[in-house]
Amino acid sequence: MISFPVNQHAIVIGGSITGLLTARVLSHHFEQVTLIERDPLLDRPEPRRGQPQTRHLHGLLTSGKQILERYFPDLIESLVAGGAVSVDMSQVTRWYILGDYRLQYPSGMMGILASRPFLEWQIRQRVTALANVTVLDRSRVESLIASADRSQIIGVKIRQHSIEQRSIEQRSIEQPQNDLEPNSIEPSPPARAAQKTLMADLVIDASGRNSPAPGWLAGLGYAKPPETVVTVGLGYATRIYRRRPHDLVGALSLITSPDLPHHQRGGIAFPIEGDRWIVTLAGWVNDQPPLDEAGFLAFAQSLPVPDIYHLIAQAEPLSEVIGYQFPASLRRHYERLNAFPAGYLVMGDAICSFDPIYGQGMSSAALQAALLDDLLHQSIAPTQLPRLFFRQAAKIIDTPWQLTISEDFRIPTTQGKKPLGTDLINAYGSLVQQATHHDPIVYGAFLQVMNLLAPPSRLFHPKIIWRVLKAKSEARFRSQT
Ligand SMILES: Cc1cc2nc3c(=O)[nH]c(=O)nc-3n(C[C@H](O)[C@H](O)[C@H](O)COP(=O)(O)OP(=O)(O)OC[C@H]3O[C@@H](n4cnc5c(N)ncnc54)[C@H](O)[C@@H]3O)c2cc1C
């Protein structure tokens, strides 16, 4: 086995949120970090081919925001200076769910509303400014390099596009796209690209949902991770509009949740930088919102309440409608593998790609990056790191995974292994949601769980159960009088 001086060089595959945050963490523990991204990384906020999802609305949960602030202390200030909107989400959101609006009250849980490319660009600027981080864009990792006995990953083989190839690719990403498959657009085959070998003592795979890690592992003689798939058939459609100061009265953002299982359509309108609205409509069971103007408006009008319709019917559109189809939530159980090579980890969407409607992917990635930081501070032996990381990452993923798939299983056509007790949890969950129409204590507990600041068990605290049942009897009383 080839051995390296410990913590000399780390490689991160993928320059999205997981990759950027991980590179930032590793820059404290390694002499050199190389971040490898197959897309061209432009010095401006721009959606990229490798991430069609970033054209759609992205909410950042409080847990994710707190971790970003920890690693990039001036980030939020800079986002706000650039036009992002910092708000107490429960205070400013007119949020319809299950028959009524949630209470609008100051929970103190602050959110930052910005487009995903703007957020990512702000983070990227800070990572590229780190003296010991090198970013190789337009470079695709093609395979891992393992030690002779295959017990350790010691590097990667990459293909770097030539200047000519880069300019073709750059032009093509500047064309508007309609992305109806997750990560469906692969960069064109590198006609003139150089192959290179990079050696490292830690390689992190942050290459997203379509990560090649399972195939690479199998090629080295390891088992592939077992997968859990929950098929939802979610259709997204997003359009940007001009925002005027008084578009809404008494609120700064709108959320209309679907009344599952009977009504399977929802939508969100968030203010973002540049005095714009980003409006995403969603339909379950392959009910893709139409991409033409009239169809998009009609879909908005068909939501349980027409708040978003009233907003966009008056607003000036600034973009086409862009579509996206999310077939299924996908979880890869690396924590269940008995053997895994040292010097290699898989993180972010490459481990778990959640139903996006609950906005948890970036925050789950941030929590995983913070976990890696903690483990590296403990100087754990390289052979032990994968086992410890995957076990603890699985605990991080458990909460958002349970929240999303429970909701998805409200729809009878959802396919996948339904965990025991889901219907009971959903019945109680509906009562919790209805209690948030009036009760700030229940709403606060729900927000803690939703923002990945507390486990779901917080909602089963006797005080919360009592308040939820009280809210139910008060609602019955109100409906009778
Ligand atoms: C429609 C939609 C809406 C979403 N909304 C939200 C939301 O509101 N809030 C939220 O928190 N999350 C949301 N998410 C999830 C969020 O986008 C991801 O969790 C987040 O981007 C982190 O993913 P990642 O960095 O692990 O992977 P990705 O963002 O998929 O990035 C992977 C990167 O790796 C690169 N790459 C891939 N293969 C290679 C290779 N071989 N070599 C080099 N580079 C490679 C890709 O080009 C890409 O840049 C949403 C997802 C979808 C699909």
Q: What is the DSSP string of 18-81?
A: HHHHHHHHHTTT-SEEEEE-SS---SS----TT-GGGGS-----HHHHHHHHHH-TTHHHHHHH
- Choose which residue among 16, 138, 360, 450 to substitute to test ligand 1 binding: the one with the highest number of ligand atoms within 8 A of its C-beta: 16
State the number of CA atoms in the 13 A half-sphere of 414 facing the CB: 26
Ligand 1: centre distance to CA 330 (Å)? 13
Residues near ligand 1 with C-beta < 6 Å? 13-19, 36-39, 50-51, 53, 56-59, 140-141, 182, 206-209, 236, 324, 326, 348-350, 356, 359-363, 365
The Cα–Cα gap between 364 and 355 comes to 13
List the alpha helices (DSSP H) in 227-383: 293-301, 307-314, 361-377
Peptide bond into 271 cis (omega under 30): no
Give the amino acid at 50: G
- b/e 438-455 (16+ beta carbons within 10 angstroms → b): bbeebbbbbbbbbbbbbe
The Cα–Cα gap between 35 and 159 comes to 14
Give the amino acid at 376: L
The Cα–Cα gap between 54 and 305 comes to 27
The model's pTM: 0.93
pLDDT band at 358 (very low <50, low <70, confident <90, very high): confident
pLDDT band at 166 (very low <50, low <70, confident <90, very high): very low
| Residue with CA closest to ligand 1 atom 51 | 356
* Residue 449 pLDDT greater than 70, yes or no: yes
Lowest mean pLDDT among 60-64, 203-207, 477-481: 477-481
The pLDDT assigned to 6 comes to 62
| Residue with CA closest to ligand 1 atom 38 | 207
- Closest atom of ligand 1 to CA, residue 206: 26
pLDDT band at 286 (very low <50, low <70, confident <90, very high): confident
Length of the chain: 481
- Choose which residue among 38, 120, 183 to substitute to test ligand 1 binding: the one with the highest number of ligand atoms within 8 A of its C-beta: 38
Q: Would you say 221 and 237 are in contact if contact means Cβ atoms under 8 Å apart?
A: no
- Choose which residue among 11, 48, 51 to substitute to test ligand 1 binding: the one with the highest number of ligand atoms within 8 A of its C-beta: 51
- Choose which residue among 46, 156, 362 to substitute to test ligand 1 binding: the one with the highest number of ligand atoms within 8 A of its C-beta: 362
The Cα–Cα gap between 250 and 230 comes to 38
- Closest atom of ligand 1 to CA, residue 362: 11
pLDDT band at 1 (very low <50, low <70, confident <90, very high): very low
pLDDT band at 161 (very low <50, low <70, confident <90, very high): confident
The pLDDT assigned to 191 comes to 53
- Closest atom of ligand 1 to CA, residue 140: 42
Phi, psi of 331 (to 5 degrees): -125, 130
Instruction: Read off the pLDDT of residues 208-262 as tens digits, 9 standing for 90 and up.
Output: 999 999 999 999 999 999 999 999 999 999 999 999 989 999 999 999 999 988 8
For the chain, give the percent of residues with pLDDT over 90.
Answer: 84
- The tokens of 378 are what? 């403990």
The pLDDT assigned to 183 comes to 38
- Decide: residue 3, CB within 10 A, 0-12 exposed, 13-18 middle, 19+ buried: exposed
Tokens 């650039």 -> residue: 82
- The tokens of 231 are what? 């098929």
CATH T-level topology, domain 86-112+229-327: D-Amino Acid Oxidase; Chain A, domain 2 (3.30.9)
Ligand 1: centre distance to CA 366 (Å)? 12
Ligand 1: centre distance to CA 51 (Å)? 6
Q: Superfamily for 9-73+118-225+334-396? A: FAD/NAD(P)-binding domain (3.50.50.60)
Tell me if residue 92 falls in helix, strand or coil: helix
Strand 133-136: give its sheet, edge to edge: 133-136, 32-36, 9-13, 202-205, 344-346
The pLDDT assigned to 165 comes to 47
| Residue with CA closest to ligand 1 atom 41 | 141
- Closest atom of ligand 1 to CA, residue 49: 47
* Mean of pLDDT over the chain: 92
Phi, psi of 319 (to 5 degrees): -150, 170
* Residue 164 pLDDT greater than 80, yes or no: no
- b/e 116-151 (16+ beta carbons within 10 angstroms → b): bbbbbbbbbebbbebeebbbbbbbbbeebbbbeeee
Tokens 């990459």 -> residue: 158
Give the number of other CB atoms < 10 A from CB of residue 205: 27
Domain ranges of the chain: 9-73+118-225+334-396, 86-112+229-327, 408-480
Ligand 1: centre distance to CA 188 (Å)? 19
